[in-house]
Amino acid sequence: MRPPHTSIVANLPAATPFVGPETLERRTNRQIELRLGANESPFGPSPLAIEAVKRVAECTQNYCDPEGYLVRQELSRQLAVPMECIVLGAGIDELLALCCRLFVEPGDVVATTLGSYPTFEYGASGIGATFSRTRYLAEAPDLEALIEAATKESAKILYLANPDNPSGAWHHADAIQWLVSRLPSDCVLLLDEAYFEFAPEAAPIDPDDPRVIRLRTFSKAHGMAGLRIAYVVAHEDHVQAINKIRFHFGVNSIAQAGALASLNDPYHVPWVVAQSAIGRLEIDEFVSHLGLRPLPSHTNFVAVDVGSKARAESILTSLLQEGVFIRKPGLPPLDGCIRITIGRPEQRERFAEVFERVLRAQ
């Protein structure tokens, strides 16, 4: 007889939050030429980070620093917050799951936007949370609706991605401050800022405010998605609590070395952001020329309204047959959109050629 799983796990759907391009290659028996679906940086890591990774790769017989001291020290210097208010994790995904463990008991409510980054719900579901989901307003998270839901349902967490994934929408600092000021007293804001480098500005960081937990990553602008390293900036009490439950060797020595070197490169991330802005404008103009509507984006991707869910799904299928991997939002009102990562110039040129051909064949 098989030992029983917990009721929480047994009742979860057999699903994963992300189907990778490698899986799609195995399913279709076709190699993917253009990876433009996961918002990986096509511009890669800083050359300084690459060199640091190579050096540390020769010493992987040793355990990593479980405190991530040097990375946290540099983040502390650049962000002007105490080291005690920073903790590392193996990507924002892990940190979201840890925050859910920290604040949510089985049956507690969490508030989120219907269709936002699905891995938050993946982590919250795994500990038995229930959800209050609000719809997008003008293709952006509706802050008033989120506060209303969190208040009405006594939510323990309010999750907001800013800039948002998958829409690309961004709320300015004053709007975030308004949101924080109206949080219920026993609710924490998980502010997912995976794409903050691409936005005009970020809301000021106040590590003394226990109501806000900031999550940032080296996966996007720093170009190190495969190394799995991110960080939380929060009140010292929250960081101490996360340290009680995190895997202390979870952020490996190669990731730490790459992150530290990237932080010490003053040129690479600004260059990536500038190149992404050029590419975003090109994509906007290209899809508009084809009669489609690009959504305003402050990220390294563009969501494009193609008219309907059925058409978006058909486009994704046709592109995959051509060796092009992109994604689409799964829920209304954005399920009639496709989402395109901003590639290098040669990738954008190749995508435009394939996409126009596929679109005209619809």
Among candidates 136, 183, 187, which has minimal Cα distance to 164? 136
Q: In sequence order, which residues have a C-beta less than 8 Å from that of residue 283 and are 6 or more positions away?
A: 294, 302, 304, 340, 342, 348
Report whether 46 contacts 218 (CB < 8 A): no
User: 130-167, pLDDT tens digit by residue?
Assistant: 999 999 999 999 999 999 999 999 999 999 999 999 99
pLDDT of residue 25 exceeding 90, the answer is no
Position 200 confidence tier, pLDDT thresholds 50, 70, 90: very high
Report whether 175 contacts 199 (CB < 8 A): no
The DSSP symbol for 317 reads H
pTM listed for this prediction: 0.96
- The pLDDT score that the predictor gives to residue 343 is 97
- Tokens 């590419």, located at residue: 279
- The pLDDT score that the predictor gives to residue 361 is 87
Alpha helices in the chain (DSSP H): 7-10, 21-28, 47-57, 69-79, 91-103, 118-125, 143-152, 173-181, 236-245, 253-263, 268-289, 309-321, 345-360
- The pLDDT score that the predictor gives to residue 3 is 85
d(C-alpha 337, C-alpha 340), whole Å: 10
User: 102-132, pLDDT tens digit by residue?
Assistant: 999 999 999 999 988 889 999 999 999 999 9
The DSSP symbol for 14 reads S
First-residue to last-residue Cα distance in the chain: 52
Give the residues across from 339 on adjacent strands.
Answer: 303, 327
What's the mean pLDDT when you consider all of the chain? 96
pLDDT of residue 11 exceeding 90, the answer is no
User: 78-96, pLDDT tens digit by residue?
Assistant: 999 999 999 999 999 999 9
Q: What is the helix (H) or strand (E) element at residue 86, kind and residue range? A: strand 86-89
d(C-alpha 92, C-alpha 161), whole Å: 11
The DSSP symbol for 33 reads S
pLDDT of residue 17 exceeding 80, the answer is no
- The pLDDT score that the predictor gives to residue 283 is 98
d(C-alpha 354, C-alpha 165), whole Å: 25
- The pLDDT score that the predictor gives to residue 202 is 87
Among candidates 101, 147, 148, 146, which has minimal Cα distance to 120? 101
- The pLDDT score that the predictor gives to residue 259 is 98
User: Which structural domains are found in the chain, ordered by start?
Assistant: 18-44+268-360 (3.90.1150.10), 47-263 (3.40.640.10)
Quickly count: other Cβ atoms within 10 Å of residue 63's Cβ.
10
User: 311-354, pLDDT tens digit by residue?
Assistant: 999 999 999 999 999 999 988 999 999 999 999 999 999 999 99
Weakest mean pLDDT among 2-11, 41-50, 51-60, 68-77 = 2-11
**Helices (H) and strands (E) in the chain — how many of each?**
13, 12
Among candidates 283, 272, 299, which has minimal Cα distance to 349? 283
State mean pLDDT over 37-62. 96
pLDDT of residue 77 exceeding 90, the answer is yes
